[in-house]
Structure 1
Amino acid sequence: MTITVYSIMVDNKEEAFKAIASVGADPAGRRWMAPKAVHRLVMLDGVQPRQANIIKQELLGKGGEAAVSRGVVDCSVSETKVLLMGTLRQYDDFLAKLEAQPFGLKALAIRIREVLEGQEGLRPRGLDCRGKILQLGVKTLVMGILNVTPDSFSDGGSFYDPGLALERAAQMVDEGADVIDLGGESTRPGYVKVEAGEELARVIPVLRRLVGSLPVPVSIDTTKPAVAREALEAGAHIINDQWALRSDPAMAGLAAEYGVPVVLMHNQQGTSYRDLTGDLVKYFQESVRLAVEAGMARDRLIIDPGFGFGKTPAQNLELLRRLKELRCLGLPILVGTSRKSTIGKVLDLPVDQRLEGTAATIAAAILNGADLVRVHDVKEMARVARMTDAIVRGER
């Protein structure tokens, strides 16, 4: 008999457990072996040589590996990155030893455990949006974009009238939208900022119609606390902040006061990065800190890596390829690629011809860990999401 040889790939302990079960291993053996089947890389940045030497020694002792700068051994560098390599079983043993070490390594061990847990993926749970529940981690949720602006890059002026806006929002819900994202200020390249009063005049009449008629949550897309407060008073369920609580320090306290979920989007001036994922993680960690210190619960936060904001086209595509790396934060990931200029540059197409390109980016985002997608073309992208979910999630 010829033995068939082929590879198996697993992304987390659940998949490893299923793979081991497929060979007929007993349940106790499956639980013991699954952590040995999952290999993880974890990057540490800003490690002192004395810390790095202990880390490398302890992980090597458990059968793993740690790559460090060559100047670590003689302490000729002031700090180093450390790339940890090991199975989940090796990490368990390694971190137990690291917690007993000095030089702040106990606290570091706790943070590494959090990163490893986050990489297992989002566990299904309900997110309370002021009485409307979003089920996270069961399927990819679709956020429909509703711009009530005269100058949005894609649909500026189309839904400025409250009646037309409600009609479009209801249509998006029928097409599969789980959330409606209402915005009154364009963020297209070269946009002109509007005062809070003008933004309120655009969104509040529409918002009142939406919250009184729609069965799904409505998020308010704004960076202004004054706009957010009025929107919340009018019944908005979520704040979508394109500066992740950094544009105005009052936003974090406002969100805590009303107890609403917040989308934290990465944004920056310029496109310079030391390391794309590392810089985004630091950015989100700071925004999470601001939220928690203001009194928000961490589990009410959603992160958005900001496709098209402060990034070149090449960086946007790298972001999609590396999206899974952001799971280390343990928070739901929202991705908004719809009709963006990167798609236009890759395909050399205008805004109104980017449907297929958007579909490709949505599928790639879901394959790489997105929990929510923000789109204009709800009917088409909801179908893309359902199909991609069938591939990624299987039966739930």
Structure 2
Amino acid sequence: MWNARIVPIRSMCEAVEEVKKINVHSAAVELLAVKALHLCVRLEHVTPFAANILKQEMLGKGGDAAVSKGVADFKDEYSDVLLMGTAAQFRRLLVKLEMQQGSLAEIGREVGAVLTHALTREPRTFHCRGYDLPLGQKTYVMGILNVTPDSFSDGGSYADADEAVDRACQMIKDGADIIDIGGESSRPGYAPVPAEEEAARVLPVIRRLKASVSVPVSIDTMKAAVARQALEAGADIVNDIWGFQRDPDMARTAAAYDAGAVLMHNQDGTAYRDFMGDMLTFLRESIRLAKNAGLPDANLSVDPGIGFGKDLAQNIESMRRLPELQALGYPVLLGTSRKSLIGKTLDLPADERVEGTAATVAFGIERGVDFVRVHDVKEMARVCKMTDALVRTPEEIHG
């Protein structure tokens, strides 16, 4: 019998692998793969004229577009648009849009950039000073080292520099690829710490750690003054919970040291006009600030900011919609470890959230994240290794 079944294809790599299994001619693999991958691209604030053109063009190529009901008779001033089609149909749309002028040409360039991020299979790396981490082959584990008295999970555990360095070395043995050092708690209701005190907490640990290990070290801070001193002491990455938007000197500081950057989404309160749209707008502004300061694309990564400016339902929605961050074209870091998302879902205290963290880590990897920031390194490194074996194609894993 024919054994018919539906084959889920969610990436260009998967499309190529499925086409290859049919034993087609090598020259036809790429041509067929772009027809096997179906994509949906959402646009915001499109004029009725442009929305009508986009719908007709997609229909003419075998795809479709969802537009507001007020577009046809021009009753709506603007409409969001959901373009739907195969990668091949989108490519033909872009050829047509390249011949247009004004907003249609601009839409074509933005859609083209998004498709490039979604479809490219070129090797990429994340650069942070002296390190270049290949992307796509594995999930990198960032071990959390809080040298604070009041962090929500491990506050006070590693306030002594010797204990902190010992803990970092143990995390590296357990599978940490990066150590993230923080000197100020960012838990709800945290007490702000002066830059001098924060620096005094983290600098001795960074100096000792850089003298004894050979993995990248990240400084978790929203203050440029602390970041500058940490980078001078040898840190390689700036992990900013406000995505360079709270301290105007942060982007220039990171660029001056060729540091890697983690740009996290954050906001005061949980009110949104369009949840993922607002998140992407924020992160695009963070990216603009970083690039204007001189940081190259290879140095940038983004973080959806689980637990920051979001309630439980929004945190869960962030997890479900992680693939939308790929439109930005940068590696994604996910930080869910022991957070309230897990505590509220399972009704468990912070020290009993290992299984919940493991579920979010595995789910995040399946949804395309490249880095996970965790407390329980040994357990999560194993989760990453197993999930990578299930999710990543052999071509990705072995390069």
Give the SS at the match of 1:127.
strand
Partner Cα separation in structure 1 for residue 36 and residue 233 of structure 2: 51
C-alpha distance after superposition, 1:271-293 (max 9, x if no partner): 12233222111111111111111
- 2:128 aligns to what? 129
Give the SS at the match of 2:44.
strand
- 2:208 aligns to what? 209
1:150–1:157 CA contact under 8 A, matched in 2: yes
Partner Cα separation in structure 1 for residue 393 and residue 71 of structure 2: 46
Q: Aligned pair 1:364/2:363, yes or no? A: yes
2:126–2:300 CA contact under 8 A, matched in 1: no
1:46–1:79 CA contact under 8 A, matched in 2: yes
C-alpha distance after superposition, 1:101-152 (max 9, x if no partner): 2332112111101111222377543333221332222100000000000001
Q: Unmatched 5+ residue regions in structure 2?
A: none
Alignment-mate amino acid for residue 341 of structure 2: T
Query: Does 42-51 or 96-105 show the bigger shift?
Result: 96-105
Alignment-mate amino acid for residue 348 of structure 1: D
Q: Aligned pair 1:189/2:188, yes or no? A: yes
1:58–1:98 CA contact under 8 A, matched in 2: no
Query: Does 126-135 or 249-258 show the bigger shift?
Result: 126-135
Q: Aligned pair 1:260/2:259, yes or no? A: yes
Q: Aligned pair 1:61/2:60, yes or no? A: yes
C-alpha distance after superposition, 1:346-384 (max 9, x if no partner): 111111111111111111111111100000000000000
1:121–1:330 CA contact under 8 A, matched in 2: no
- 1:330 aligns to what? 329
- 1:386 aligns to what? 385
Query: Does 224-233 or 19-28 show the bigger shift?
Result: 19-28
1:252 positional shift: 0.9
Give the SS at the match of 2:119.
coil
2:125–2:298 CA contact under 8 A, matched in 1: no
Superposition pairs of residues 168-183 of structure 1, within 5 angstroms: 168-183=167-182
1:394 positional shift: 3.9
Alignment-mate amino acid for residue 172 of structure 2: V
- 1:166 aligns to what? 165
1:121–1:327 CA contact under 8 A, matched in 2: no
Give the SS at the match of 2:211.
helix
Partner Cα separation in structure 1 for residue 221 and residue 40 of structure 2: 36
User: How well do the aligned residues superpose, as a CA RMSD in angstroms?
Assistant: 1.3
Alignment-mate amino acid for residue 7 of structure 2: I
- 2:290 aligns to what? 291
Q: Aligned pair 1:20/2:19, yes or no? A: yes
Alignment-mate amino acid for residue 307 of structure 1: I
2:139–2:365 CA contact under 8 A, matched in 1: yes
Measured at CA, do residues 122 and 13 of structure 1 come closer, stay the same or move farther in structure 2, by a change above 3 Å? closer
1:49–1:73 CA contact under 8 A, matched in 2: yes
1:294 positional shift: 1.3
Q: Unmatched 5+ residue regions in structure 1?
A: none
1:122–1:332 CA contact under 8 A, matched in 2: no
Query: Does 2-11 or 259-268 show the bigger shift?
Result: 2-11
1:126–1:133 CA contact under 8 A, matched in 2: yes
Query: Does 42-51 or 18-27 show the bigger shift?
Result: 18-27
Query: Does 67-76 or 222-231 show the bigger shift?
Result: 67-76
Alignment-mate amino acid for residue 169 of structure 1: A
Structure 1 ranges of 4+ moved more than 6 A: none
Identity %: 55
- 2:111 aligns to what? 112
Partner Cα separation in structure 1 for residue 112 and residue 181 of structure 2: 37
Give the SS at the match of 1:204.
helix
1:258 positional shift: 1.3
Alignment-mate amino acid for residue 32 of structure 2: M
1:367–1:392 CA contact under 8 A, matched in 2: yes
2:36–2:86 CA contact under 8 A, matched in 1: yes
2:147–2:155 CA contact under 8 A, matched in 1: yes
- 1:342 aligns to what? 341
Alignment-mate amino acid for residue 203 of structure 2: I
1:66 positional shift: 1.0
Q: Aligned pair 1:305/2:304, yes or no? A: yes
Partner Cα separation in structure 1 for residue 121 and residue 223 of structure 2: 30
Partner Cα separation in structure 2 for residue 188 and residue 121 of structure 1: 37
Partner Cα separation in structure 1 for residue 87 and residue 357 of structure 2: 36
Partner Cα separation in structure 1 for residue 85 and residue 136 of structure 2: 27
C-alpha distance after superposition, 1:201-247 (max 9, x if no partner): 11111111111111101000000010011111111111001100001
TM-score, normalised relative to structure 1 = 0.97
Measured at CA, do residues 300 and 209 of structure 1 come closer, stay the same or move farther in structure 2, by a change above 3 Å? same
Alignment-mate amino acid for residue 275 of structure 1: D
Alignment-mate amino acid for residue 182 of structure 1: I
- 2:138 aligns to what? 139
1:180–1:217 CA contact under 8 A, matched in 2: yes
Q: Aligned pair 1:321/2:338, yes or no? A: no
Partner Cα separation in structure 2 for residue 102 and residue 128 of structure 1: 37
- 1:36 aligns to what? 35
2:182–2:221 CA contact under 8 A, matched in 1: yes
Give the SS at the match of 1:213.
coil
